[in-house]
Homo-oligomer: A and B are copies of this chain.
Amino acid sequence: MIGRLNHVAIAVKDIAAASAVYRETLGARVSAPVKQAEHGVTTVFIELPNTKIELLEPLGQDSPIARFLERNPDGGIHHICYEVEDIAAARRTLVSAGARVLGDGEPKVGAHGKPVLFLHPKDFCGTLVELEQA
């Protein structure tokens, strides 16, 4: 079912400082920050030859990454995103296998404008898994 690794998301308190680490210390190509008010994050993409790293900084009062950064004040890997061809079919397969879909269980439009689901970390080796329809 899962296809390409779409991205690895790293939550950080200071996206400008994190961008500088990736641009200057690691010599990577780093995009400009984009505020995504409806998702409660500011995003930056680090473009690697085969995939991308997504830096996330909290935006607004109810950012979904605020609690993660309280527990991980230096930042850390927040989730990993795999592509699927058909998000509705993936959801049916996962639910029938007993996996828990977060939220109301329905796909939402994610930060890249495509349908996404988040899966419960306890069902996936302690990692928060996002599925994005490719």
Known A-B contacts A2-B27, A27-B2, A77-B77; A18 and B125 likewise in contact (beta carbons under 8 Å): yes
Whether A77 lies near B127 (C-beta < 8 A) is yes
Segment at the B interface, from A32-40, A47-55, A59-67, A108-116: A47-55
Flag if A76 contacts B2 (CB, 8 Å): no
The reply to whether the CB of A101 lies closer than 8 angstroms to some CB of chain B is no
Interface class of chain A by DSSP: loop
Residues of chain B with a CB closer than 8 A to A93's CB: 25, 27
Report the Cα distance A75→B48, complex, angstroms: 26
A49–B97 contact, CB under 8 A?
A: no
Determine if A8 and B8 form an interchain contact, defined as CB atoms under 8 angstroms apart.
yes
Report A72-117 residues with CB < 8 Å from chain B CB. Answer: 72-77, 80, 82, 93-94, 97, 99
Q: List 13 additional contacts besides A12-B125, A25-B97, A50-B50; criterion CB under 8 Å.
A: A1-B27, A2-B28, A3-B48, A5-B51, A10-B126, A18-B125, A21-B123, A27-B93, A50-B51, A53-B80, A72-B126, A74-B121, A74-B126
Give the B-binding residues of A (Cβ under 8 A): 1-5, 8, 10, 12, 18, 21, 24-28, 48-51, 53, 55, 72-77, 80, 82, 93-94, 97, 99, 121-127
